[in-house]
Amino acid sequence: MFFKKKTAKKSYDKENKRPVIKASICNGEQVAGFQDIHTGIFEEVMLIRNAEDLFQFKNEYGIDGNIEKIY
């Protein structure tokens, strides 16, 4: 009740994948995930509804700075 559960840091293949936010042009829905640098395949991780969700995604995977949006 009084203590938050600590989230373990997750990792991703930094050499072959990059973090991106895939945004829909039609309805503005945003999904955070990773895009393969070589093939361009997008892997969804979580839905971004607000700034708190984006902060949580960055914190879970240890991402600093801005994340590129793709459409």
Instruction: Name the pTM for this structure.
Output: 0.81
* Residue 44 · residue 23 · CB < 8 Å: no
7: which residues sit within 8 A by CB, 6+ positions away? Answer: 59, 60
Question: What are 7-39's pLDDT values in tens digits?
Answer: 667 888 889 999 999 999 999 899 999 999 999
**pLDDT score, position 9:** 78
